[in-house]
Structure 1
Amino acid sequence: MARREQNSGGLVEFVKTIVYAGLIAVGIHTFLFEPFYIPSGSMVPTLLVGDYLVVNKFAYGYSHFSFPFAPDWFSGRIFGSMPKRGAVVVFRPPGAPNEDYIKRVIGLPGDTVQVTKGQLYINGKLVPRVDIGDYVDTSSGSPVVARDYKETLPGGVVHSILKLTNGPEDEGGIDPNNTPLYTVPPGHLFVMGDNRDNSEDSRFLDGPVGYVPVENLIGPAVIIFFSIDLKHPFWEVWQWPFEIRWGRMFHTIR
């Protein structure tokens, strides 16, 4: 009898441990950190297709966008704070509120932003950049040779961008290399992809992104914890070790 009670007690403790561990994992995922996968090349060369990253969900406070499948219980942010210019953020775009996008914060509320002949201007001042050299972008499948620049945003954030010699014109008639002058509304952000000629972002006000309400932020991307190239079919398991980008593991995002 004593042994049966002991076995029963051990089973109860095991179940309790599993339940507690599950609750802790759900709590971390919901309130602290959440993993995300990069499916497109709009943030190349900073983020590559196949990168897995962690987002800090408490950095800017919480809104109803912070929680998966959460109803619209409240507006605004709780414990909210404004991201700094240059932060790489995950958000829900106004035109596609059920999807997760990732871009870089370029303009804060009240800023003016314009792209002229492929050069970025913030508040009327040219954003300086340094030519690093050619970069072969394979994110769209076929190799595309672009130019790699180091751009320094107001405030001091230095990051890489890609530029084509002649960027594509949007179907709506907006040339992303020669835009109107944008003025960021209160409570909103202007975001752009680092792959400047392959990014659907705030330059296209009629697109899904446009000006991004601060309320729609989920959080800043902080670290890449895994990255895989996926050039070969999934069933070719012998290729897996060679497809992992070991050099990008635990790479901080700037």
Structure 2
Amino acid sequence: MRDPATGAFAFFGDMQEPVVSPGGGYVASLPVARMVRTDFETVVLRDRVTGWSGEVRTVDKPATLLFPAWSEDGRRLLATALDTSRRPAVSLGFVVLDAARRSVTFSPVQGGGDQPFGWSPDGGGVLRPTAGGGLRVHDLSGRPLRTFTEVGKPLRDGAARTTLGTVFATTCPKRTGRVCYWGVRTGAARGETRLPEGGGFNGWLDDGHFLGTVRGRGKSRAIVMMDLKGKVVRTLAEGPADEIENVVLWYTRR
């Protein structure tokens, strides 16, 4: 993990996957050791301004937290609570951690299988894919607000404020190899991107570019910055396809 004061990389801890908040004020991690606990789970939290570091209790077992995501203002961490004692795992709802207060709120939500929750970019709650290619918006208590159907499969980290408006991204229904964008408030179509052959969408980098994967040279695969026309603007990394496909990408949206 890079130290914001010195620019040097610093050790965060064993068996951790640290996620830095927008602005860099906090770092959170769901420690791997939580998977073998039988009582409750914790989030490792570090305040990079005050220097405080510790663990915050979250949910009781058999719930397990996955898919951590910071709010755009960098103050709250969202994570999906799953009952991993069941096969397949079943979503129980979501947790919001207020980093400054070090307080946790659990909101139960029924249904949805094992689909993860994500922040709504308009500040209106959280989003989750529905069965059959749709999206549902919930408020922070878990109450459903609106549902969009027949929009395609929602893409992870695909909801953001962009040059197309405040949208969520999906695989286009009935059109392979394309990403469709829909308004978060109305579900209205806002545009689409035709991906290069074998390309993939992996989340927004800024309001006009997203993180993508494309075929590289030979049998390699590349991680790239792509614009809304599907043009590769910059290659960020390239390597053997089998290795690149297994890379876990953590980044802070600019």
| TM bin (shorter chain) | under 0.3
TM-score relative to the length of structure 1: 0.25
Relative contact order (alpha carbons < 8 A, sep ≥ 6): 1 or 2 greater? 1
Considering fraction of residues, name the structure with more strand.
2
Give the structure-2-normalised TM-score: 0.25
